[in-house]
Structure 1
């Protein structure tokens, strides 16, 4: 047995995993992991998973008393060598949509991370290392802030609401956590939010400045300007497309003798037609 293994056999290893506290503990010379923190971290029901553990993994399940942040606790633990098998019993397609990504993340990484902590005392996450190398600067994020300004203006949102959409979509706590690779995707995402419900085809793709003519669309281009009047992007328009403000659209409907609906209802119907 190596010196590292001897040292670890006398203690519980605390592992931070996507905001959850997991553990690896020695039991008779073999690594075990408490299962309730894993089940809770995945967002699943503990009672049903406990039943599965007792019926299908009985030979690998033991109750161990371990020290936690809340004090000494008895916890149901599974042999680490059995963890991958248990993870594979869960079908991501059968869990609630809101926890599906978490379940897949645990299936892909959890057993490897815990094993590395047990054998090496630490784990190297290549993705996190790469993210540190590609963090953005304030200047890099200027186009994203400009896009958020446009979204807030067009959709009458509060800034916290607009930024919360970005945080949720990219699973970050701040736009400062976005990588250089994610930044242009975030700008594109915000522009799509701003264009949602406009009288434009959904297949139109935002084209960043400088403006270039495209034979497919002709020579008409919609320009996007920042607060200083600088062109920050463009959207080519086909010859059969028209641009109208919402009020102009309603006025045109009135002049043509069409039925005019309440603004919210009409906007909802237009959005559903474009979806």
Structure 2
């Protein structure tokens, strides 16, 4: 027969375990399995968010760097000058542009450069020094200013660049860069650069005083200059007539009168078509 105290011990074995109170206290201080799992999940989510934030920051930095390197135009201004008119502009940086008759200029606002595109016509640029480069593009040719006053003319002949003061660097995707200093000029296309020649500044800038100055200029060049003041085509019957040379100073506001005067100056005849075009032939 069991004694009562023995039965009581069998029902409550904790009465013989002196560490039991400490175990109970330890359970209260140590988190449960569920609490540990919840805390681990929270830490994992936090690390994932920090990693995503870091990746997002790197992506933004990469995109910003790419945009900076690409230097996109974020705003453009379109300027077109009517035939027989001239227009003067002052750019945001203080640089000045004077546009000749029939010129078309695109002014671009970019992140890290000052760029303009002369679609056709003629423009005289007086550039203010700045940390950002000043570039004029036309027909695949780029003119980079090195602190100067220069003239760019773009038409069917190509792109004529002339430096009045300072220097520019002329380049294209197919031709090595050429530096032009004050008093120098060249004719360029995207695939070919002509020889560097001296500039006749008075003749070059005569258009600013509504004048056209020619000094033994081939008629082919004269016709191309006159075309800037006329919407209807001027043509040469053959290359031989284009070799005739013209000298003199004429009023650019009276281009039609000059055209009518040419047969009395040079051995040429004019053939006027119904569409307003004129063809020059060698007089017989």
Alignment TM-score > 0.5, same fold:
no
Q: Which has the higher strand share?
A: 2
Q: Which has the higher helix share?
A: 1
Q: Which has the higher contact order (CA 8 A, sep 6+)?
A: 1
